[in-house]
Amino acid sequence: MIQVTDLVMLRLCPYRFYLERIQKKKAPTTQEMYLGTVYHKIAEETVRRDSLIITELKEGCKPRQIFDLLYVEYCRVIRNVILRRKTKLRSLNIDAENLSQELREFYKEIAIQKALSVKRALEKREEEVIVGNVEYRIEDAELELLGRVDRIEIHGDLLLPVEIKTVEKKRPTFSEMLQLAGYALLLERERCTVVNKGIIEYPSTRIIVDIPDKFKENVVNLRDHALKILAGEVPEKVRTDKCDRCQFFDVCWNE
């Protein structure tokens, strides 16, 4: 099986895909990489807490009450995630206490914004949003693809995959759209429905995006390329400006 996230990497660098999948090379863990893992885990856990808290809110709740409920849970998640990873953080010279403080401040702002948006939604009695699954593993044997969707939401009659990102951006990138299209393609086949919209969720904003068929076609084309490499084709090494920041730089250009 080929992971949807592998196709994103394949598009950026076919040779790195070859090194990781065929040569079984592993990139050394850097501070940036591990912090990304920590941030993403916290984002996933807070999403779970959001869903539970919001479904239990009563009419007439004030924004401050919603904020208090959210922020207490966010702090609990941050503490638990960092405690479980304290040894690894220390080995990478990352100060766990400073990291905890930074994350608490960061999530305080998120809790304020989310409390206000939830209050507005309750007052307007907006269409109910149902969270169908969190961290949903999905695969298709015929497509030879698998993925893990951060969250699936149901908006009325619409099924939307949600991809959570830990770095704030003004607009979705092509790679993020491609990843979402891969999940949409898998969900279409599993649920026998059309999935033509999705959500990219950044720390302080959610963007609903259209998923055109051309993105799903790109996913299939990249899948075909991946299968050729897995069958023995060796892609060409191509030097780009991204190479200098890649963990496999020495493997490609200094061996």
pLDDT category, 132, cuts 50, 70, 90?
Answer: low
Hey, what amino acid is at 191? Answer: R
pLDDT category, 28, cuts 50, 70, 90?
Answer: confident
pLDDT category, 10, cuts 50, 70, 90?
Answer: very high
Q: What is the pLDDT of residues 175-189, one digit of tens each?
A: 999 999 999 999 999
| Residues whose CB is less than 8 angstroms from the CB of residue 245 and which lie 6 or more positions away in sequence, other chains included | none
- Among the ranges given (40-54, 120-134, 150-164), the one the predictor scored with the smallest mean pLDDT: 120-134
Instruction: Judge whether 96 and 82 are in contact, CB under 8 Å.
Output: yes
Instruction: Judge whether 198 and 211 are in contact, CB under 8 Å.
Output: yes
The pLDDT value given to residue 255? 59
The pLDDT value given to residue 37? 85
| CA–CA dist 21, 23 (Å, integer) | 6
The pLDDT value given to residue 228? 96
pLDDT category, 11, cuts 50, 70, 90?
Answer: very high
User: Smallest Cα–Cα separation from 161: which of 213, 202, 197?
Assistant: 197
The pLDDT value given to residue 194? 94
Domains of the chain, each with CATH number or no CATH? 2-22+129-253 (3.90.320.10), 31-124 (no CATH)
- Find the mean pLDDT for residues 225-254: 90
User: Smallest Cα–Cα separation from 201: which of 175, 174, 172, 163?
Assistant: 163
Give the residue, 226 or 150, on which the prediction is more confident.
226
Q: What is the pLDDT of residues 190-230, one digit of tens each?
A: 999 999 999 998 877 789 999 999 999 999 999 999 999 99
Instruction: Judge whether 197 and 188 are in contact, CB under 8 Å.
Output: no
User: Smallest Cα–Cα separation from 50: which of 103, 117, 139?
Assistant: 117
Q: What is the pLDDT of residues 76-121, one digit of tens each?
A: 999 999 999 999 999 999 999 999 999 999 899 888 888 887 777 6
